Amino acid sequence: MRKFLASLLEVFEIALVAVASVFLVRTFLVQPFVVSGSSMVPNFENGDYLLVDELTYRFRTPERGEVVVFRYDGNPFTYLIKRIIGLPGERVRIKNNKIEVVPLSGEPFMLEEKYLAPGVVTGGDAEYVLSDSEYFVLGDNRSFSFDSRNWGGLPTKNVVGIARIRLWPLPQIKAFTSPQYNQ
C-alpha cells in the first residue's frame, strides 16, 4: 500500500509541474492561434495554426511590417491577425491604391509591399492620423480584410503578440520574419 501511495504522489507531482509549466508558458511566452478567414491570404491561410510570441513586446514596441495578433476593440473576445503598416503618431495616406506613410520625423515614403499577391490593391482614398498609442493595421488580402480602414487605429493595449511560427499544415511549417521597407 505504501508503494502505491508513493507512486500516486509522484504522478500527482509530475502532473502539477506539467500544468504549472503549461500555464506559465501560455500566459507569458507563447500562445497558439488558429487563423480564421481569408484576410491574410496568401501569407496566412484559413486554418493555419500559429504560435504567437507574447514576450517580445514586453521589451520593445511593434515594428512596421510585423504580423500581430490582437483583441478587436469591438469585441474583446475576438482575436484578429493583421500586418502593421503605420506606427504611433504617424499619418497614413491611401490614394490611387498606394500607401504613403508620413513618419513623425523624416520624409514621407511610399510603402513597397512585396509580400502582397500580384494584383492586390488597397482600395479607397483616405488619410488616417494615429495617436501616440495606436497602430494602423491591414490584412494582406485587402479586398477581404476588416482592418484599420474600417475601424481606425489599433490601440497598443490590444496587441497580444507577434506571429512567429506556423506549425500547421505540416508542409508549410515556417518561421516568419518582418519585411524590410525602403524608408
| Cβ contact 88:131 at 8 Å | yes
CB atoms within 10 A of CB 136: 27
- Residue 83 one-letter amino acid: R
Strand spans (E) along the chain: 30-34, 49-53, 67-72, 75-86, 91-95, 98-102, 109-110, 126-129, 134-138, 154-155, 159-168, 174-175
Please give the C-alpha separations between residue 80 and each of 16, 117, 126, 146, 154, in angstroms, as whole numbers.
Answer: 32, 20, 22, 9, 11
| Cβ contact 11:52 at 8 Å | no
Sign of the alpha-carbon dihedral angle for 60, 61, 63, 68: positive
Enzyme catalytic residues? 39, 82
Cα separation, 166 vs 123, whole angstroms: 29
